Structure 1
C-alpha cells in the first residue's frame, strides 16, 4: 500500500486532477465501478469546497486495509486546508446549508451519506480537515460515524507516487497492535521495505513487540531496511507496550500531559540491537498515542483541542500532519502519522 496521491488544490483545474487521483486509487484498491463513482463524487465535493470556502488546500489519497472484519483494501481521502474554518460543523453537514452564493449546499452532506466513514474537524481561523473512507462494500449509517481505534495518513516526498512509509494496525484477541515503518531513504526500494514490515505484522501481531521486531528484522533482510515502531495495547490488562528501532518518534498523551517515547538506534533488517528496550505504561481511557516517521518536524506541537482529540484517529493524524508543516517549512522526507486511541471517540462525524 505504498502508493500515495497528493494534489495541491489552488484553482479549478485541479478538481479534475483530484477526481482522476480518486479513480486511480480505487483501481489500485480493486474497487468495483459503483464504489469508484462514490470516491470520485466525494473527492470532487471536497476539492470544490477547498476552492469555494478555504481559498485552496490539498487532497491526499491513501490505500488502507479494510476495517476489522472486512476484506480487501479501502481508499482513504483527506482534505486539508488552513482557511477560515467552519463555525458550525453540524449545520455544514446538513443538506441545503451553504455559505457560498449559488451553492446547493449538498457537498458535505453527500460525503457523509456516501462514504463508508466520514469525519470532519474544523476550527474558525485555523482551517478544516476531512477524512472519508471508501470501502469495497457499502456500510450502514452507523458505519459512517463509527470510530476505529487507529488511523493515520501518509504523504510522499515531492508528491512522489511511491512512499517509503507505511503504517498498519491489527487486532489479535485482547491485543491491539500498531506498526509504523519508515523504509530507509525514499522511493520504490524504501516502499518495498515498509510494505514487507506491514505484511509481516499480519502474521506476528499475536506476539509481544520485541519479538515482532526480531521477526521483522529477518523478514526485512532482503530489503534496504526500515525504522520500525511497534505499539501494542493489552486491552484486558490496560497496558501499553512500546518498542522501536530507528529514528521514528512517538508521543503519549495521558490526562493533560504528553510524554515522548524514544525508540532504540538501529535499522530493522540491517543493524539490529542486541537488546530492544520495551516501555510499558498504563493505558487509560483517555490515553492517545501518536507515532510518526522522521519526515515530521521534530519540534511539532501536540494538539490540545479536546474536540479534535475526541474525533476519529484518522482526523487527528491528518490535523497533526497539516499543522506541523507549511509552505515555508515543507516536509523533508516521506511522512507518516498514525494515532492509536484508547476509547471509542465521541460519535461525531
Structure 2
C-alpha cells in the first residue's frame, strides 16, 4: 500500500509542503542523504516554477517503478515528481531548459537544475494550454557490471503512470505496476473499490500478485488475483501483456478500467468484462490479442477520468515519457469546473524511442 503525495501549489507556503512531500517519498524509496537532497531540490524548483510562471498548479509525488525496467517486487522504486499546470505554457522549451534562461528576471536555474540533478527528466508544454514537467530520482547508479549470460536484454518498451488520490488523501485506491518474466512485459492498473486505506489494500494485493505471477497470461493472472483479493473490498483490474518476441499485445480486464490503444491515426477501445476481482469474477475471462509495433501506445485509466475524455492527438506528446503522457491525460480531462471526483490513475505503455545519433 503506497503513499501518494498530492500538493496543490497556489501560494509560497506550499513550496515547503512540496519539499516535505519529496523527502517523505525519498525515505519510502530508501534514498540516502545525498539523493534525498536532490529530490528535495527538484521538488522545490518545480513548485517555485509553478508559482512564478503558471500562477500555481499541482505537484504529484510518488514512488514508482523505473520507466524502462520493470521493478522486482522487493525493489523500492524511484521518486517521481510531476508538476502539472494550466498556465501560459513555454514557447521555447530548449531555451527554457538552459541554465540562465528566465522570463521573470530570476536566476533562471530551475528547469536546467532539475534536468541536471534528476536521473530522468522530461518536459511537455503547449503555449496557451500549460506544462507538465516530470523528474525521477533514484538511488545512486552502481558501477557498470560485467555482462552475464543470465542477464536479460533491455526491454523494448517502457511504462509510466501517475496517481491522484481523491480529495488529497494520503492513500489512493488506484495503483499501477509493471513486471517482467522472460519476454513478457505486463502492465497492470487496479482500482480498489471505494476510497482510502481499505481500497488501497485491495489494489496493493493485486500488485503483489502481479510480481509473483508475471509469467502467466492475463486471464490466468486475473484468476490468481481473484484468490489473492478474496477478503478485501475487491478491485477492478486490467492487464496488458506485451510479448516482445511475438510483437503481440494480450489484454484482459475485469471491472471498469478503461483502455485505449493507438491504432494508426486513431484510438481503439479495449473492453473488460463486468465484475470485481476478489468479489465477483466472470465465469469466463476472454482476452484480446493484437499486434504491437513501434507506433502503438496503450493508455489504461481508472474511472476517475470523465467518461468522455479525449485521448491525446499531438504526435510529439505520444513520444514523450509515458508518465508525461499520463499526467497530460489527467490534466486535460479535468479542470476547476470538472474536478476529480474519485481516485484517478493513468498508466501508459509505449515503445522505447529510437536512439538518438
TM-score range, shorter chain: over 0.9
Question: Which runs of 5 or more residues in structure 2 are unaligned?
Answer: 144-154
- Provide Cα deviations, 1:111-152, integer angstroms capped at 9, x if missing partner: 011111111100111110011111122489xxxxx9961000
Counterpart in the other structure of 1:87: 91
Q: Does 1:160 align with 2:163?
A: no
Counterpart in the other structure of 1:345: 353
C-alpha distance in structure 1 between counterparts of 2:338 and 2:236, whole Å: 23
Aligned CA RMSD, in angstroms, stands at: 1.7
Give the direction of change, closer, same or farther, for the CA distance of 1:292–1:177 in structure 2 (3 Å limit).
same
Contact 1:147 1:347 in 2 (8 A): no
Q: Which of 296, 299, 302 is the matching residue for 2:305?
A: 296
C-alpha distance in structure 2 between counterparts of 1:51 and 1:347, whole Å: 35
**Aligned pairs (5 A) from 1:281-320:** 281-320=290-329
Contact 1:312 1:345 in 2 (8 A): no
Tell me how far 1:69 sits from its aligned partner: 7.4
Counterpart in the other structure of 2:151: none
Counterpart in the other structure of 2:341: 332
C-alpha distance in structure 2 between counterparts of 1:282 and 1:244, whole Å: 18
| TM-score, reference length from structure 2 | 0.92
| TM-score, reference length from structure 1 | 0.94
Q: Does 1:214 align with 2:223?
A: yes
C-alpha distance in structure 1 between counterparts of 2:219 and 2:205, whole Å: 17
Contact 2:10 2:55 in 1 (8 A): yes
Counterpart in the other structure of 1:143: none
Give the direction of change, closer, same or farther, for the CA distance of 1:139–1:325 in structure 2 (3 Å limit).
farther
Tell me how far 1:163 sits from its aligned partner: 0.6
Q: Does 1:36 align with 2:36?
A: yes
Contact 2:254 2:275 in 1 (8 A): yes
**Aligned pairs (5 A) from 1:201-280:** 201-280=210-289
C-alpha distance in structure 2 between counterparts of 1:340 and 1:69, whole Å: 12
Counterpart in the other structure of 2:25: 25
Contact 2:121 2:133 in 1 (8 A): yes
Contact 1:9 1:50 in 2 (8 A): yes
C-alpha distance in structure 2 between counterparts of 1:312 and 1:322, whole Å: 15
Tell me how far 1:29 sits from its aligned partner: 2.1
C-alpha distance in structure 2 between counterparts of 1:139 and 1:313, whole Å: 25
Tell me how far 1:17 sits from its aligned partner: 0.9
Question: SS of 1:149's equivalent?
Answer: strand
Contact 1:163 1:186 in 2 (8 A): yes
Tell me how far 1:2 sits from its aligned partner: 2.5
C-alpha distance in structure 1 between counterparts of 2:231 and 2:200, whole Å: 13
Tell me how far 1:217 sits from its aligned partner: 0.4
Counterpart in the other structure of 1:62: 62
Question: SS of 1:40's equivalent?
Answer: helix
Question: SS of 1:15's equivalent?
Answer: helix
Contact 1:205 1:212 in 2 (8 A): yes
Count of residues paired in the alignment: 341
**Aligned pairs (5 A) from 1:135-214:** 135-138=138-141, 149-214=158-223
Counterpart in the other structure of 1:77: 81
Counterpart in the other structure of 2:121: 118
- Provide Cα deviations, 1:82-121, integer angstroms capped at 9, x if missing partner: 11111111111111111111x1111111101111111110
Moved >4 Å (runs of 4+):
none
Give the direction of change, closer, same or farther, for the CA distance of 1:111–1:138 in structure 2 (3 Å limit).
farther
C-alpha distance in structure 1 between counterparts of 2:138 and 2:157, whole Å: 14
Give the direction of change, closer, same or farther, for the CA distance of 1:347–1:13 in structure 2 (3 Å limit).
farther
